[in-house]
Amino acid sequence: MKMAAAAFLVLLAPVAVFAYPNGTPNYVTDTGPFCASCHSAAKAEYMAELPSEAARAEVPEVKHYGLVRMPTPPSPYIELSDEDKEEIIREAKLIDASASVSIEAPKKMKAGQEATLTVKARGGNGPVICVMLVDRASRFQSRPVASSGWFIQGAPEVRGQDGKAQTGWLDKRADGAGRNLNYITISGQRFDLDKKLFPEGIVTYRVKAPQSPGVYTMAAAFLYGTENAVNSAFFQRPSGRILFSEELRIEVE
């Protein structure tokens, strides 16, 4: 029985190390933050449609630190000492306090007009961070902006922590598949909490406004981690985060 369990873990381990901590190397497509079910959400307001208890259960205090401090299974932290647990929480709180994401866009546009949108994100512990351009600041219900009629034109421009343009993420798209994605992973991120060195990136999207006049909302979702990839190789840890930018209201006439 024990052997079977161990063999199962061995099978799982490379997947866990490769996939979730380190972002999602293979999901090179449009998506929304609903995919990050294991991540904690920065605010309960991101889940306004849920009963308040259920929304509260998604914030770091409950979902992450609650599990870190839980003395029994299924907590993946039970083997740690109380000091180690409190250290995880202390560092995660410092990382969260420094995390930010913003979006810049014109406030008013003509139907079908072209514009440039800039998303700036900073925070987390690397080795990657990701941003998504979505229609609302809603953890489970936001959609890629294209769903509300914003056409992303061509490959977004991605700049990493070093300020240099990087194309590694979009280069993974299959030949012939469009590179105009709303979901971008920004890699090559260094992190040093003591030096306040946090992952960073800027994504510039060229978009075409919807054809139907109206008031449209838009936000950037930012996904990052708070433990490190080695510690959280056990992928059930809710140490990932979802943070939204301000929700913009753009008038299209």
Site for ligand HEC in 113-132 (CB under 6 A): 124-125, 127-130
Residue 36 binding ligand HEC, by CB under 6 A: yes
Residue 24 binding ligand HEC, by CB under 6 A: yes
Is 180 or 250 the residue whose CB approaches ligand HEC more closely?
180
Is 24 or 166 the residue whose CB approaches ligand HEC more closely?
24
Cis, peptide link before residue 127, omega less than 30° from 0: yes
Q: Among 47-55, 70-78, 205-213, 236-244, which window interacts with ligand HEC (CB under 6 A)?
A: 236-244
Q: Among 14-22, 70-78, 103-111, 112-120, which window interacts with ligand HEC (CB under 6 A)?
A: 14-22
Of the candidates 106, 124, 117, the one whose C-alpha atom is nearest the C-alpha of residue 23 is 124
Q: Which residue has the tokens 């971008």?
A: 184
Is 109 or 132 the residue whose CB approaches ligand HEC more closely?
132
Residue 37 binding ligand HEC, by CB under 6 A: yes
Q: How far apart are CA 118 and CA 91, in angstroms?
A: 29
CB-side neighbour CA atoms (13 Å) of 107: 0
CB 143 within 8 A of CB 117: no
Is 166 or 232 the residue whose CB approaches ligand HEC more closely?
232
Residue 225 binding ligand HEC, by CB under 6 A: yes
Residue 224 binding ligand HEC, by CB under 6 A: yes
Residue 42 binding ligand HEC, by CB under 6 A: no
Q: How far is the CB of 155 from ligand HEC (least distance, A)?
A: 18
Q: How far apart are CA 111 and CA 130, in angstroms?
A: 29
CB 60 within 8 A of CB 40: yes
Q: How far is the CB of 191 from ligand HEC (least distance, A)?
A: 9
CB-neighbour burial class of residue 14 (10 A; exposed 0-12, middle 13-18, buried 19+): exposed
| 68-77 long-range contacts, CB within 8 A, separation 24+ | 74/236, 76/234, 76/236, 76/237, 77/237
Residue 223 binding ligand HEC, by CB under 6 A: yes
Q: Can you read off the two tokens belonging to residue 122? A: 């900073």
CB-based contacts of 93, cutoff 8 Å, min separation 6: none
Residue 100 binding ligand HEC, by CB under 6 A: no
Is 96 or 252 the residue whose CB approaches ligand HEC more closely?
96
| Site residues, ligand HEC (CB under 6 A) | 20-24, 27, 31, 35-39, 124-125, 127-130, 223-229, 232, 235, 237, 239-240
